[in-house]
């Protein structure tokens, strides 16, 4: 099966050598390698390391953002209907009110006008997904945020290399996050990086993600007379990265330029070879000021045969999917309204295989099967 997403393992020799050093150190938990990864990732983003903090997964960042930004029960949080389920769950689990907005039917990103329609005096924050790691109109959205004095949480899970006018996506709001789970680009099994717009917010998060402890361990507090004593500043929990996953992440970070080159190559292949089909709408052309991570390659099927195409490709060993199922269609959230663009996207969009291990042979096979579908059904 040709997969939609697929992680890339680095050189096993180099990775095993790096992991061996971790085990030889007798410290497998959060330690020097985590600190090194935070520093290297800050260099990658171009922001101070004092604003970054690792955690165990991106969903943890979504859930913790509610507490860290002082979202209260009953506060309204605007989320694009085309969003990851973790965003909806984070808002609702905290007791806040989930308010969904529509999106651009082609980019699947929320536009300033979509967001502004849903703002009320109770609106506290916007939890903004960058679809496939690609941002929408951030200038317009940030202008809106200032106008209404709102908090912004950026779900940049897939935007590990994305920039908007030279600035890393995920660093525009009060909080941002990038995912390193098994299906992302930079993969370490699981894990995430969090961004905070102030060092004070980062310190608050550092305590919250380790039981609210003022001091992390007796070892760190060994200068004290009784280092086993402690105090807490909040009723936090434990959600940290460890030196094993950080070591894997550091090895992957070195490969990002190569990964981006291959992913762009795949996207360019699709752009060039799929334009011959009148029933396929290619992804919108990116503005010159946006640097993409090329996480998704989403097409839209104009002849009403999206599901048939997906089934045909799967029967021929090509796995495709659609991301993300609109949250307004999830009965558990109990949100109703009119979301015509999100509905259009959900009924016409298909994500094609895109990862850095896909071969030219596989790409040509995908093209061959789409041609077959075109001949038989279109």
Residue 247 has pLDDT above 70, yes or no: yes
| Confidence band for 303, pLDDT divided at 50, 70 and 90 | very high
Spatial CA neighbour of 150 closest among 111, 114, 115, 176: 115
Write down the domain spans for the chain. 12-253, 256-377
Looking at the chain, list the stretches that DSSP marks H as alpha helix, in order from N- to C-terminal side. Answer: 12-24, 32-45, 58-68, 85-93, 112-116, 138-148, 199-208, 243-253, 256-274, 306-315, 340-348, 360-377
Question: pLDDT band at 13, cuts 50/70/90?
Answer: confident
Question: b/e for 103-114, b at 16 or more Cβ within 10 A?
Answer: bbbbbbbbbbeb
Helix, strand or coil for residue 72? coil
pLDDT digits (tens, 9 = 90+) for 326-373: 999 999 999 999 999 999 999 999 999 999 999 999 999 999 999 999
pLDDT digits (tens, 9 = 90+) for 114-153: 999 999 999 999 999 999 999 999 999 999 999 999 999 9
Q: Does domain 256-377 have CATH number 3.90.1150.10?
A: yes
- Identify the residue whose tokens are 């104009």: 302
Confidence (pLDDT) at 219: 53
Map 289-314 to HEC letters.
CEECCCCCCEEEECCCCHHHHHHHHH
Give the model confidence (pLDDT) of 74-106 as tens digits. Answer: 999 999 999 999 999 999 999 999 999 999 999
Second CATH level (architecture) for the domain 12-253: 3-Layer(aba) Sandwich (3.40)
pLDDT for the residue 230: 81
Which of the four pLDDT bands, split at 50, 70 and 90, describes residue 220? low
Per-residue pLDDT reduced to its tens digit, 54-68: 999 999 999 999 999
For 18-41, how does the pLDDT look when each residue is reduced to its tens digit (9 = 90+)? Answer: 999 999 999 999 999 999 999 999
CA distance 81 to 99: 9
pLDDT at 225 over 80: no
> Which secondary-structure segment (H or E) carries 48?
none
User: What pLDDT does 166 receive?
Assistant: 98
Which of 302, 304, 301 minimizes the C-alpha distance to 352? 301
CA distance 161 to 226: 45
- 3 state SS of 276: coil
Considering just the CA atoms, what is the radius of gyration of the chain in Å?
Answer: 22
**DSSP string computed for 10-43:** --HHHHHHHHHHHHHTT--SSSHHHHHHHHHHHH
């Amino acid at each position: 099966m040709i997969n939609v997403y697929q992680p890339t393992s680095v050189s096993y020799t180099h990775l095993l050598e790096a992991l061996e050093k971790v085990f030889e150190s007798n410290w497998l938990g959060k330690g020097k390698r985590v600190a090194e990864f935070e520093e290297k990732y800050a260099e990658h983003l171009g922001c101070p390391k004092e604003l970054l903090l690792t955690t165990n997964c991106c969903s943890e960042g979504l859930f913790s953002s509610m507490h860290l930004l002082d979202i209260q029960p009953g506060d309204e949080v605007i989320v694009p209907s085309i969003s990851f389920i973790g965003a909806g769950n984070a808002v609702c689990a905290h007791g806040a009110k989930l308010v969904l907005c529509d999106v651009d039917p082609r980019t699947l990103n929320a536009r300033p006008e979509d967001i502004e329609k849903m703002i009320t005096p109770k609106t506290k924050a916007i939890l903004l997904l960058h679809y496939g790691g690609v941002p929408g109109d951030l200038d317009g959205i940030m202008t809106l945020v200032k106008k209404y004095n709102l908090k912004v949480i950026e779900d940049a899970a897939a935007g590990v290399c994305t920039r908007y006018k030279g600035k890393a996506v995920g660093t525009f709001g009060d909080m941002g996050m990038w995912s390193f789970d098994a299906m992302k680009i930079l993969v370490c099994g699981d894990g995430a990086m969090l961004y905070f717009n102030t060092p004070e917010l980062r310190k608050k998060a550092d305590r919250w993600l380790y039981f609210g402890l003022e001091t992390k361990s007796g070892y760190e507090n060994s200068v004290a007379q009784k280092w086993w004593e402690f105090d807490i500043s909040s009723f936090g929990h434990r959600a940290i990265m460890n030196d094993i996953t950080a070591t894997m992440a550091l090895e992957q970070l070195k490969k990002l330029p190569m990964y981006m080159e291959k992913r762009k190559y795949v996207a360019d292949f699709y752009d060039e070879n799929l334009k011959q089909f009148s029933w396929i709408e290619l992804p919108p052309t990116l503005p010159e000021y946006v640097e993409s991570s090329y996480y998704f390659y989403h097409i839209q099927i104009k002849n009403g045969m999206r599901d048939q195409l997906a089934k045909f490709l799967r029967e021929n060993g090509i796995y495709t999917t659609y991301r993300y199922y609109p949250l307004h269609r999830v009965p558990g959230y109990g949100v109703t309204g009119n979301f015509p663009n999100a509905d259009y996207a959900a009924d016409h969009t298909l994500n094609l295989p895109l990862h850095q291990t896909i071969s030219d042979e596989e790409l040509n096979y995908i093209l061959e099967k789409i041609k077959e579908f075109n001949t038989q059904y279109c």
